[in-house]
Amino acid sequence: MKNIVGLKDFRENLPKYERRIGKGQSFIVMKRSKPLFAVSPVDEDEWETVIDFTKIKKGGVDIHDLLKRL
């Protein structure tokens, strides 16, 4: 079962919900008593790291510089 949370509460307390999502909880975010979107943890088995730009440059690579080189 997913937890229900209001949009305003979700927005104002994002760090709290980020920790809870990191622990595996899912939420349905509501606005005016209507479901707006769902938030759930990423399934690590389906996630594939193609390239880690932080290994190229500390802090990552600027997207504009990257696109200029393509």
pLDDT value, residue 1: 55
Q: Is residue 22 part of a domain?
A: yes
* pLDDT tens sequence across 19-60: 999 999 999 999 999 999 999 998 877 778 787 777 777 877
State the CATH number of the domain containing residue 28: 3.40.1620
Determine the Cα–Cα distance for residues 67 and 53; give it in Å rounded to an integer.
13
Q: Is residue 56 part of a domain?
A: no
pTM value > 0.85: no
* Residue 16 scores a pLDDT above 80: yes
Determine the Cα–Cα distance for residues 64 and 47; give it in Å rounded to an integer.
25
SS3 category, 34: strand
Q: Is residue 5 part of a domain?
A: yes
Number of domains within the chain: 1
Q: Is residue 65 part of a domain?
A: no
Task: Note down the domain range covering 3.
Answer: 1-41
